[in-house]
Amino acid sequence: MTTRGSNTFYIHTFGCQMNQADSAIITALLQQAGYTPAESEESAGIILLNTCAVRENAVDRIENYLQHFQGLKKRAKGLVVGVAGCIPQYQREEMFSISPAIDFLAGPDTYRTLPSLIEQSRTGGKPTSLEFNSAETYEGIDPVRQGDISAFVPVMRGCNNMCAYCVVPFTRGRERSHPFSAVMGEVEKLVASGYREITLIGQNVNSYHDPEQGMNFASLLDLVSRTAPEARIRFTTSHPKDISEALVRTIADRPNICHHIHLPVQSGSTKIVGRMNRGYTIEEYREKIAMIRSIIPGVALSTDIIAGFCGEQEEDHQATLKLLSDIRFDLAYMFFYSTRPGTLAARTLEDDVPEAVKKQRLQEIIDLQNSISAELFQQSIGSVVEVLAESESKRSTGQLMGRTAGNRAVVFDREGYQPGDLVKVLISAATSATLTGRPE
Ligand code: 5AD
Ligand code: SF4
């Protein structure tokens, strides 16, 4: 029989940075209620999966975990397993039929109820807390983060865009901005604790709006960068239709805001982005990129692509390849389309691209983008880049891993440097995903 402290908890986090930020909030809420973080899953009396529903394989992954927990529960009496986040919000009570190991369910707006859900599970119930609460921003909760170098600061929750493929409006509800004073309060605390990198996050950060202070995202970003002048400032995700010249000028003007913009285009075909309800044409997207590059020369750009969306024909796919060749993104996150029940596409469009074709197109997209990333990365051999060291490299304690302002991963010889240091690194080799070098 495994020994598990009944008041200790362990969280597995899946999905986006917002989920990582939510796990820091959950940790704070559970600690306030008298629970303590366990050293490992093996010693925890409470295990939480903080889940993501955005793509199909995300659901499959948690099923494997749940199977494992079912075995554990036979050996560890009193072990409580909860599923939180986007999957239960979306699948609701149906979740319980996936696995008998699940004791309770909580959605992204109900984390304040977690202590009571745990208590109710211990008395034999199968409680759920899945209400939307569009007023909830977890104001007043001081997140307990992993690590002390880089921090995510949510500035908004939820999303009001109805992209046809996307489950987020159904898992995270209506968009709401965090009060300006709460964001700034958190940034001040991070500065006092010596954080070196602050990433402002939201499903669509450009829609940030604090009506009381009249703040938009450009003015918020500007003030954050002035309040944390020693830290690198990043932000994600921006929606192409809303990215403003004022925001781009703020990024160009403030020395500590990283020259990197993640701008998901999803497809290179105007017909397909129209069906996706993205609110721009590919011409308009190209114009935005031209505007950004003219104001921030050398800016690093990254994107998201979905292959095989409803109605995508070979010519649309070719348009995506053409867009990637023309723009030459530093990096892209690439997926094939999977229907998410309840979304606009699931209700109104036919998922008519055969799976084999989706996968074939995705592979072509990945191959092209990898060769572009490799070429761009190769070009930096011989140059000196500034790297924020984040951790020891996975392969060797004699090397550190970090990122450039443009968000490229760099592995370099340690030579006495520590995680948290800003190091000028001379690049000597590159793959399509990593640069390697040594301190200048
Ligand atoms: N199928 C495939 N990819 C998706 N994404 C979101 N929903 C889906 C879906 N149903 C991708 C988009 C988004 C990223 C976070 O995940 O590219 O920008
Ligand atoms: Fe996944 Fe979207 Fe939820 Fe983030 S908001 S965890 S990407 S479903």
Residue 16's nearest CA partner among 199, 161, 181 is: 199
Pick the ligand that lies closest to the CA of residue 340: 1
* Domains along the sequence of the chain with CATH: 5-129 (3.40.50.12160), 150-378 (3.80.30.20), 384-439 (2.40.50.140)
What are the start-end ranges of the H helices in 237-336? 245-253, 270-275, 282-295, 314-327
Burial pattern 401-439, b for ≥16 Cβ within 10 A else e, equals: bbbbbbbbbbbbbbeebebbeebebebeebebeebbbeb
Q: For position 124, what pLDDT does the model report?
A: 85
| Residue to mutate (ligand 1; options 20, 165, 267; most atoms within 8 A of CB) | 165
Q: Is the CB of 55 under 6 A from ligand 1?
A: yes
- Token pair in block for residue 94: 């149906």
Chain length of the chain: 440
Provide CB contacts within 8 A for 188, sequence distance 6+.
227
Pick the ligand that lies closest to the CA of residue 163: 1
Pick the ligand that lies closest to the CA of residue 54: 2
Q: For position 213, what pLDDT does the model report?
A: 86
**Which residue do the tokens 């490992």 mark?**
40
- Distance from residue 204's CA to the centre of ligand 2 (Å): 12
- Distance from residue 383's CA to the centre of ligand 2 (Å): 37
Phi, psi angle pair for 91, to nearest 5°? -95, -10
Q: For position 417, what pLDDT does the model report?
A: 97
Q: Of all atoms in ligand 2, which is nearest to the CA of residue 19?
A: 6
- Distance from residue 54's CA to the centre of ligand 2 (Å): 5
- Identity (one letter) of the amino acid at 357? V
Q: For position 2, what pLDDT does the model report?
A: 52
Q: Of all atoms in ligand 2, which is nearest to the CA of residue 58?
A: 1
CA distance 393 to 412: 8
- Distance from residue 45's CA to the centre of ligand 2 (Å): 26
Consecutive sets of 10 residues in the chain, 440 residues long: mean pLDDT of each? 79 94 97 95 95 83 92 90 95 92 97 97 93 94 94 95 94 94 96 97 94 91 97 96 95 97 98 98 98 97 98 98 98 95 94 98 98 95 96 92 96 96 97 93
Question: From the CB of residue 374, how many other CB atoms can be counted at a distance below 10 Å?
Answer: 14
Q: Is the CB of 340 under 6 A from ligand 1?
A: yes
pTM tops 0.85, yes or no? yes
